[in-house]
Amino acid sequence: MKIRIGFELVYACTQLTPMILNLNVHSSRVDLLMSPDHIQTDPPTPMSGYRDLYGNWVTRLVLPPGDTLITNDAVIYDDGERDPVALDAQQFDIQALPEDALVYLLGSRYCETDIMANEAWRLFGNGPTGWHRVQAICDFVHDHIKFDYQHARNTMTASQVYESRIGVCRDYTHLAVAFCSCLNNPARYYMGYLSDIGEPPPYGEMDFAAWFEAYLGGEWHTFDPRNNKRLIGRVLIARGRDAADVSLSNSFGYTELKRFLVRADEVLESAQD
């Protein structure tokens, strides 16, 4: 199956403004691209890129005064299968974890393990472990939080969303990641495209999505507390400890986001001929 992915963003600046973007397909997924994943700007702007410590492809540029259109349009292969399930996957003891998983046990800007630890153990410490514990966390978070764009804010931390019980997909993910990390199960935050393929209408307005992976049975497994079901067509852009590591853009000066359009649509066979 082929999925057409892309976006249109318009940023307005009052002066020359340096910016870094996390908007390319993750380095671990580039082999699946069937057309180039190139960011373009109007007016044309010099760009350079680098790979950060999480393998995210980061773009550097300096926006001119006025409006700048930033776009991308690519096609990527997907196997068309729903997120896999591994009910027998078990949690590893800390001493058996690989070194590169240990960072995902540590607290971060939005996932305050020091604040959430006692509550995590109270809620989940006496239940099952492994896959079933992570799924229990997703079930709890899915039911605990009300999805609401209007009352969410981008500074909300896991402990704050736990108290307020209102948020968007990033907040669901932060809370679930925090609970997993508190329980000594590495969990890493994911951001990317998420299609509506295989889902019944009506469809909401397309946006970038957040989900997470938990380390179980020697592998990283996908979980999605916002939707709390196995879905088709996830395309990873960036991963890290939380949203601070995978921000779509970081500007070093005042900017206004004036347009925000995202697409992730199946390319039908008739459209390929």
Domain 94-245 has CATH 3.10.620.30: yes
Predicted confidence at residue 113, as pLDDT, reads 96
Residues 6+ apart with CB under 8 A from 231: 82, 83, 194, 195, 198, 199, 224
Q: How far is CA 229 from the centre of its chain?
A: 16
DSSP tag of 92: P
Q: Which residues of the chain fall below pLDDT 70?
A: 270-273
The residue extents of the domains of the chain are 2-79+248-268, 94-245
* Strands 234-240 vs 219-223: parallel, antiparallel or unpaired: unpaired
Q: Within 10 Å of residue 222's Cβ, how many Cβ atoms?
A: 17
Angle formed at CA 180 by CA 174 and CA 186, multiple of 5 degrees? 100
Predicted confidence at residue 204, as pLDDT, reads 78
Predicted confidence at residue 273, as pLDDT, reads 47
DSSP tag of 121: H
Hey, do 2-79+248-268 and 94-245 end up sharing a CATH topology, with the first three levels equal?
no
Predicted confidence at residue 270, as pLDDT, reads 67
**pLDDT tens profile 222-272:** 999 999 999 999 999 999 999 999 999 999 999 999 999 999 999 987 655
Q: Which CATH number fits domain 2-79+248-268: 2.40.30.10, 3.30.470.20, 1.10.510.10, 2.60.40.2250?
A: 2.60.40.2250
CA–CA gap between residue 83 and residue 110 (Å, rounded): 26
Q: Are 174 and 112 in contact (CB under 8 A)?
A: no
Q: State what percent of residues in the chain have pLDDT above 90.
A: 92
CA–CA gap between residue 181 and residue 83 (Å, rounded): 22
Predicted confidence at residue 150, as pLDDT, reads 86
